[in-house]
Structure 1
Amino acid sequence: MYVVELSLKLSPMPVAVQRKELEAAQALYAEVKQTLESGQPRLLELHCEKEEGKRISLLSSELVAVQMYEKSATGGGARRPGFSFDG
């Protein structure tokens, strides 16, 4: 399972949607990234593959960042979202 997480302006909690396949997650990530690069506000409608009825629409001008990561099956997986230094 892969998670595409969106950070929004003035919101401490990100919006996350899940994709079952890596290719689907990469395609969504690329779509959101392209929308951010265009600089033109548009409405993005996202749905979650894990919970079929879960949908959200948001204005792209409110996006600050997008990240993609693999959701591990175990609680202490090796891949963590975001960036960190291991020391």
Structure 2
Amino acid sequence: MYTIDVTLKYSPIPISVQRKDADSAEALFQSILSAMRSPSPQLLELTCDKQPDKKVALFSDQISAVIVSEKTGASARGNVPGFFAIASGENA
């Protein structure tokens, strides 16, 4: 499962949607990037493969960052990519 995190201006919490395969995640990533590069704001409607009822709409001019990450094994616990997680037994 691949997670696409979209960070909006003035909002510390990212909007996340999931894709089942790498090709689908890359296609969504490229779609968001092209909307961000557009000189006029575009309305993006995102859906989630993991939660089919989840729908999000946002304007492209409000996006400040996009992150694509694979959620497998230890990373499936919900850790945010780019942040260091301290192991519970590290001090022992």
Match of 1:5 in 2: 5
What TM-score, normalized by structure 2, do the two folds share?
Answer: 0.80
Matched, 1:55 2:55: yes
Q: Kindly indicate whether the alpha-carbon contact (under 8 Å) linking 1:43 and 1:58 is maintained by their aligned counterparts in 2.
A: yes
What TM-score, normalized by structure 1, do the two folds share?
Answer: 0.84
CA RMSD in angstroms comes to 2.0
Task: Kindly state the Cα deviation for residue 40 of structure 1 after the two structures are TM-superposed.
Answer: 1.6
**Secondary structure class of the residue paired with 1:18:** strand
Q: Kindly indicate whether the alpha-carbon contact (under 8 Å) linking 1:67 and 1:82 is maintained by their aligned counterparts in 2.
A: no
Count of equivalent residues? 82
Q: Kindly indicate whether the alpha-carbon contact (under 8 Å) linking 1:20 and 1:49 is maintained by their aligned counterparts in 2.
A: yes
Q: Which runs of 5+ in 1 are unaligned?
A: none
Kindly, what percent of the aligned residue pairs are identical? 39
The ranges of structure 1 where at least 4 consecutive aligned residues each deviate by more than 3 angstroms after the TM superposition are none
Counterpart mapping for 1:1-87 below 5 A: 1-75=1-75, 81-82=81-82
Bigger shift: residues 37-46 or 67-76: 67-76
Q: Which runs of 5+ in 2 are unaligned?
A: 85-92
Which residue identity does 1:11 align to in structure 2? S
**Secondary structure class of the residue paired with 2:73:** coil
**Secondary structure class of the residue paired with 1:46:** strand
**Secondary structure class of the residue paired with 1:17:** strand
CA deviation string 1:32-85 (max 9, x = no partner): 0111111320100000000000001011111001110101233578xx62388x
